[in-house]
């Protein structure tokens, strides 16, 4: 991390001095100490980055799959070689436990790149419909605006799709966790991608991010982050009718049907709510259990929560690190106070505000019952280690409770009967549903219904988001 060129921006294939005068301090959330500073770029830096991306577009957009696969493979290999250093960087910048950083924060982007490589190898970009030849072409210059919670994964999902689709890109990483984006840029610099295909401009959302979203030279904004920022970006993109792909928040549910293996199902539901300290867009923060099995479920909840003691994220045994910032900690504690005021009952966990380490932004896990379905605890994305346990009477009731949300990102349905689980899954208004412990598929489309967003990322569908479709009517 110390060797990263953190005073520079990456434009047109070179590290160069930014026009920005200010800097942004990056804090280690486990200690509260500043570990680095990056430039606080504004519209001038954004302008130069977009210009570099536009200049590279004519050549890169006409490359074929072989050259794009070669670039993606080289990036995948570079990521794999640097896994340990990258995992440490992510843990340092946003507080994920190191074991989780190795397995997910860095392990997942490697699989995401494999998904793009497989999709490019398998798919033909053209199809015939009657006398039309339908072709896919790169959308153009992509602005990628990313959050801090999976800083490398969300960045790679956009950079990989852009490379695969033949687009060029300007990345604005989260101001809270920009260091892994610098590490990624160093790796990209080393694989010999043509200058200008990838550009990095660090900065804040309201300045660099807003400038990118409104820039005439950007054809598509791919954004992952909060609902509020997503709405602003869509509004900033509207005057130029830019394409927008929005991956926003969620209030996802685990549905434990009456015939499920209750212990496994509840364990999985609790872990999903707590991993990455609850800072996962698809975290299943509502656990829906049959009313007659509620007490049994709470016994399992207790034992899983007891293993999640907040601690030093650099310790390989740590399961629960800090939240990303003091502000996020205050937000989450505010939600918990409101949950209690709204009549919910905390059934487990130590005092959420107890701090295991000085100054770090820790919040202990908490699980709540007697949750009113219309309360904020049941409806709002809290983004902390907080789980609402709610009871249902039958499958119909479970589906209706799960769908009672402005969001529609993900769900898991547990049942001993796969057909029954799939039938329930089909009725959920969400973008992805796991059946039992099926797990994440880095090549399957990822994205949300309703206010969880617009568009899909990853694999073939993720590449297609960055392409336009053209119909050529051929002479008959
Ligand atoms: P955020 O919206 O505050 O910031 C995300 C990014 O957007 C940052 O780079 C920020 O600088 C930028 N930004 C903020 N305001 C902007 C504006 N007006 N114009 C342009 N850019 C702007 O979100 P966050 O706090 O970094 O991330 C947490 C949120 O992201 C949660 O709500 C979470 O659910 C969501 N998220 C969603 C997914 C998904 O795939 N659906 C994945 C991860 C996180």
Atom of ligand 1 nearest to the CA of 383: 31
Distance CA 323, CA 205 (A): 20
pLDDT tens readout for residues 294-310: 999 999 999 999 999 99
Atom of ligand 1 nearest to the CA of 173: 9
Enumerate residues 6+ apart whose C-beta is below 8 A from 406: 251, 379, 450, 451
**Residue 265, pLDDT score:** 98
Above 90 in pLDDT, residue 78?
yes
119 alpha carbon to ligand 1 midpoint, in Å?
27
Q: What is the average pLDDT value for the chain, to the nearest integer?
A: 96
Above 80 in pLDDT, residue 320?
yes
Cross-strand pairs, 171: 144, 200
Domains present along the chain, CATH in parentheses = 9-248+452-473 (3.40.605.10), 253-441 (3.40.309.10)
147 alpha carbon to ligand 1 midpoint, in Å?
5
H-assigned helices in 95-175: 98-100, 107-122, 151-165
Q: Which two tokens stand for residue 332?
A: 């989450």
> Ligand 1 pocket check: which of 210, 211, 229 to mutate, most ligand atoms within 8 Å of Cβ?
229
Q: Which two tokens stand for residue 45?
A: 């830096």
59 alpha carbon to ligand 1 midpoint, in Å?
31
Atom of ligand 1 nearest to the CA of 145: 9
Using alpha carbons only, what angle is made at residue 181 by residues 176 and 182, rounded to the nearest 5 degrees?
Answer: 105
**Residue 1, pLDDT score:** 63
Ligand 1 pocket residues where CB is under 6 Å: 145-150, 154, 172, 174-175, 204-206, 209-210, 213, 224-226, 229, 232-233, 247-250, 281, 381, 383, 409, 448, 452-453
pLDDT tens readout for residues 387-430: 999 999 999 999 999 999 999 999 999 999 999 999 999 999 99
**Residue 398, pLDDT score:** 98
pLDDT tens readout for residues 348-393: 866 888 777 678 999 999 999 999 999 999 999 999 999 999 999 9
Least Cα distance to 257 among 436, 22, 409 occurs for: 436
Q: Which two tokens stand for residue 426?
A: 């089909």
Alpha-carbon torsion (259, 263, 266, 268), positive or negative: negative
Least Cα distance to 437 among 463, 412, 405 occurs for: 412
Atom of ligand 1 nearest to the CA of 247: 41
* Residues involved in catalysis: 247, 281
pLDDT tens readout for residues 93-148: 999 999 999 999 999 999 999 999 999 988 777 899 999 999 999 999 999 999 99
154 alpha carbon to ligand 1 midpoint, in Å?
11
Confidence category of residue 8, pLDDT binned at 50, 70, 90? very high
**Residue 354, pLDDT score:** 77
Kindly report whether the global pTM for this prediction surpasses the value 0.85.
yes
> Ligand 1 pocket check: which of 155, 170, 226, 465 to mutate, most ligand atoms within 8 Å of Cβ?
226
Distance CA 218, CA 154 (A): 19
Alpha-carbon torsion (114, 223, 272, 291), positive or negative: negative
**Residue 2, pLDDT score:** 66
The predicted model gives 243-262 an average pLDDT of 98
Using alpha carbons only, what angle is made at residue 435 by residues 433 and 437, rounded to the nearest 5 degrees?
Answer: 115
476 close to 130: Cβ distance less than 8 angstroms: no
Confidence category of residue 240, pLDDT binned at 50, 70, 90? very high
The predicted model gives 49-64 an average pLDDT of 98
pLDDT tens readout for residues 171-215: 999 999 999 999 999 999 999 999 999 999 999 999 999 999 999
Cα dist from 454 to 243, 365, 462, whole Å: 10, 31, 12
Distance CA 388, CA 378 (A): 7
Question: Strand 345-348 vs strand 366-369: parallel, antiparallel, or unpaired?
Answer: antiparallel
422 alpha carbon to ligand 1 midpoint, in Å?
32
Is residue 30 within a helix (H) or strand (E), and if so which, with residue range? none
Buried b (16+ CB within 10 A) or exposed e, 292-315: ebeeebbebbeebbeebebbbbbe
Atom of ligand 1 nearest to the CA of 249: 34
470 alpha carbon to ligand 1 midpoint, in Å?
32
**Residue 330, pLDDT score:** 97
């Amino acid at each position: 991390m110390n060797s990263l060129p953190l005073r520079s921006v990456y434009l047109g294939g070179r590290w160069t001095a930014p026009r920005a005068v200010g800097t942004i301090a990056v804090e280690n959330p486990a200690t509260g100490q500043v570990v680095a500073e990056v430039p606080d770029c504004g519209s001038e830096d954004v302008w130069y980055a977009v210009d570099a991306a536009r200049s590279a577009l004519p050549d890169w957009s006409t490359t074929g799959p072989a050259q794009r696969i070669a670039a993606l493979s080289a990036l995948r290999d570079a990521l794999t070689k640097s896994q340990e250093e990258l995992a440490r960087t992510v843990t340092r910048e946003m507080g994920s436990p190191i074991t989780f950083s190795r397995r997910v924060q860095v392990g997942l982007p490697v699989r995401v790149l494999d998904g793009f490589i497989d999709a490019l190898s398998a798919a033909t970009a053209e199809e015939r419909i009657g006398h039309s030849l339908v072709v896919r072409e790169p959308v153009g210059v992509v602005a990628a605006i990313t959050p801090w919670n999976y800083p490398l994964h969300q960045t790679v999902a956009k950079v990989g799709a852009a490379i695969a689709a033949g687009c060029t890109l300007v990345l604005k990483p989260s101001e809270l966790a920009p260091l892994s984006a610098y590490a990624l840029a160093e790796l990209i610099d080393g694989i010999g991608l043509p200058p200008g295909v990838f550009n990095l401009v660090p900065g804040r959302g309201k300045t660099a991010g807003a400038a990118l979203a409104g820039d005439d030279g950007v054809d598509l904004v791919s954004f992952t982050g909060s609902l509020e920022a997503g709405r602003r970006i869509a509004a900033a993109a509207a005057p130029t009718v830019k394409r927008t792909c929005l991956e926003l928040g969620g209030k996802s549910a685990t549905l434990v049907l009456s015939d499920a293996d209750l212990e496994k199902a509840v364990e999985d539901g609790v872990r999903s709510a707590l991993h990455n300290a609850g800072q996962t867009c698809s975290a299943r923060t509502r656990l829906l259990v049959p009313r007659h099995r509620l007490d049994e479920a709470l016994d399992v909840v207790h034992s899983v929560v007891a293993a999640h003691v907040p601690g030093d994220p650099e310790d390989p045994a740590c399961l629960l690190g800090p939240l990303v910032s003091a502000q996020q900690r205050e937000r989450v504690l505010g939600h918990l106070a409101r949950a209690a005021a709204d009549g919910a009952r905390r059934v487990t966990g130590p005092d959420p505000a107890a701090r295991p380490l000085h100054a770090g932004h820790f919040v202990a896990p908490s699980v709540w019952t007697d949750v009113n379905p219309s309360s904020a605890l049941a409806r709002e994305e809290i983004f902390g280690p907080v789980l609402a346990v709610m009871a249902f009477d039958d499958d119909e009731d479970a589906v209706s409770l799960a769908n009672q949300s402005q969001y529609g990102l993900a769900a898991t349905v547990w049942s001993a009967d796969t057909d029954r689980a799939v039938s329930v899954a089909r009725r959920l208004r969400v973008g992805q549903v796991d059946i039992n412990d099926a797990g994440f598929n880095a090549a399957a489309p990822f994205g949300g219904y309703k206010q969880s967003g617009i568009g899909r990322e990853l694999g073939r569908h993720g590449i297609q988001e960055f392409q336009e479709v053209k119909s050529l009517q051929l002479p008959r």
